[in-house]
Structure 1
Amino acid sequence: MEHKERHFTAGETVRDIIIGMSDGLTVPFALAAGLSGANATSSLIVTAGLAEIAAGSIAMGLGGYLAAKGEADHYNRERQREEDEILTVPDIEAHEVGEILSKFGLRPHEYNPVVEALRDRPEDWLEFMMRFELGLEKPNPKRALQSAITIAASYVIGGVIPLTPYMLLHKARTALEVSIAVTLIALLLFGYFKGLLTGTKPFLSAFQTTFIGALASAAAFGIALAIQS
């Protein structure tokens, strides 16, 4: 019988979606709530909210791009350094291979043939050191751009949700009440599915995500009321 292993391999993409969506749901929601507390009109709230979504998505996307680019640059620097060490001090590097394998319970007579085999294959030796000595995986060269797009798009999607009631309803206070209900439901669903994808307890994740979003919006609303009074 053929055995098929199923592993979740989209961790980086899910992380980017979580980063973008969580901020997209909470920041524009808090902004709209704060402006509602200051008795701003729905049109003003929508204008300010859309401006924030545009600026926030660009900033978040750029941050994701720079983070992924930094990871790739770090990998390339470490790879070059490791390659130089293999060429200049091969005996020391070979000894390090033995030490790494010994941590897996292999004894010298068991890992020495592996060490010698790697010395005859420099490219595989280099990959072995990168993975098992430094714990670094070769990054996807398209990762930086993909991360930027995913985070920015997730931020926009998340940000539009709390603003939609203000687009449809003329009275800002009524729109605020609907926005609170819609956003809390979105936070609950987002937190639940985030928990499923990340392997944490879905209901706990839903509660935590919703609590943080509600706390942020309540703080903004309260500050606006305090300033107005």
Structure 2
Amino acid sequence: MPTPSREELLDEHQPEAVRARLAKPMRASTLPDAVLGGIDGCVTTFAVVSGAFGAGFSPQIALVLGFANLAADGFSMAVSNYEAGQAQLAQIANTEQIEHRHIALVPEGEREEIRQLFQAKGFEGELLEQVVEALCHDPEVWVSTMLREEYGLSGAGVSPLRSALTTFAAFLLIGALPLLPYALPGFSSTTQFLSSLCVAGLVFLGIGMLKSAVYRVPVWRSGLRTLLMGTAAAGLAFATGYFAHGLLGE
């Protein structure tokens, strides 16, 4: 992503621009879900292809195993991501109830927690007491402050369903790419496997470089690290299939 100039930043931080930006509903980024689904989809699917090739299975068997794995693992991962999001929201809701109860029963104790939390941030004296009074004036603001400052919890923009669908879509779309060479007739199994290897390598490299562009980290280091992780998983699957085939025989 290009770095904005000072003039662009000044425009973005004008009072009206800031007000309009903050008024928009907060949405958690779906990029981490897409990256996770894409990498896992490509790794697990190509691992199946590698294992099947290492075991000496036919391309048709590799294709069937690959698509079966793609559907089952993609759904499983989406469900897991959904349940993780639901668990996060449930934890936040439960903690909110606890804090509301504490405020009702021991308000001065909860005020002291706010006081010490902001004292640790450098607030002192009269200013500290004004901050405590302002935050504790509204119970909802009080509780949300406690959740964020004491527990490090925030449900802003969290959507378990959106995360699950993003993960599932990325898993299917990216995970299907290493299977494409096996769907093309007229090639030997070795050619199909090597083509699948090249596709998977390009996918790993591309996803790593995409992460670097979004999070502004070194491009090639991010790309090569993702490529190495994917290659290691595929190599492990190939070795497992090869040795299992040798142990079990034809």
Query: Is the 2:28–2:157 contact (alpha carbons within 8 Å) kept by the matching residues of 1?
Result: no
Match for residue 179 of structure 1 among 196, 199, 202: 196
State the distance in 1 between where 2:136 and 2:28 align: 34
Query: Is the 2:78–2:168 contact (alpha carbons within 8 Å) kept by the matching residues of 1?
Result: yes
SS in 1 for 2:176: helix
Kindly indicate whether residue 71 of structure 2 is the aligned counterpart of residue 54 of structure 1: yes
Query: Is the 1:72–1:139 contact (alpha carbons within 8 Å) kept by the matching residues of 2?
Result: no
Structure 1 segments unaligned to the other structure (5+ residues): none
Kindly indicate whether residue 162 of structure 2 is the aligned counterpart of residue 154 of structure 1: no
Q: Give 2:150's aligned residue.
A: 133
Identity of aligned residues (%): 27
Structure 2 segments unaligned to the other structure (5+ residues): 1-6
TM-score by length of 2: 0.84
Q: Give 1:36's aligned residue.
A: 53
Kindly indicate whether residue 180 of structure 2 is the aligned counterpart of residue 164 of structure 1: yes
Kindly indicate whether residue 211 of structure 2 is the aligned counterpart of residue 194 of structure 1: yes
SS in 1 for 2:122: coil
SS in 2 for 1:70: helix
State the distance in 1 between where 2:86 and 2:28 align: 17
AA aligned opposite 1:160: A
State the distance in 2 between where 1:45 and 1:174 align: 14
Tell me how far 1:200 sits from its aligned partner: 2.7
AA aligned opposite 2:70: I
Q: How does 1:8-47 map to 2 (within 5 A)?
A: 12-47=29-64
Q: Give 2:3's aligned residue.
A: none
Tell me how far 1:139 sits from its aligned partner: 4.1
Query: Is the 1:64–1:147 contact (alpha carbons within 8 Å) kept by the matching residues of 2?
Result: yes
Q: Residue 120 and residue 220 in structure 1: after superposition, are their counterparts in 2 closer, same or farther (change >3 A)?
A: closer
Q: Residue 11 and residue 127 in structure 1: after superposition, are their counterparts in 2 closer, same or farther (change >3 A)?
A: closer
AA aligned opposite 1:80: Q
TM-score by length of 1: 0.91
State the distance in 1 between where 2:202 and 2:165 align: 25
Q: Residue 72 and residue 11 in structure 1: after superposition, are their counterparts in 2 closer, same or farther (change >3 A)?
A: closer
Match for residue 4 of structure 1 among 5, 9, 12: 12
Q: Give 2:161's aligned residue.
A: 145
Which segment drifts farther, 11-20 or 79-88? 11-20
Match for residue 85 of structure 2 among 43, 65, 68: 68
State the distance in 1 between where 2:244 and 2:145 align: 60
Query: Is the 2:177–2:200 contact (alpha carbons within 8 Å) kept by the matching residues of 1?
Result: yes
State the distance in 1 between where 2:208 and 2:185 align: 27
CA RMSD in angstroms, aligned pairs only: 2.1
Query: Is the 2:33–2:163 contact (alpha carbons within 8 Å) kept by the matching residues of 1?
Result: yes
Tell me how far 1:11 sits from its aligned partner: 5.8
State the distance in 2 between where 1:90 and 1:46 align: 63
Query: Is the 1:53–1:159 contact (alpha carbons within 8 Å) kept by the matching residues of 2?
Result: yes
SS in 2 for 1:3: helix
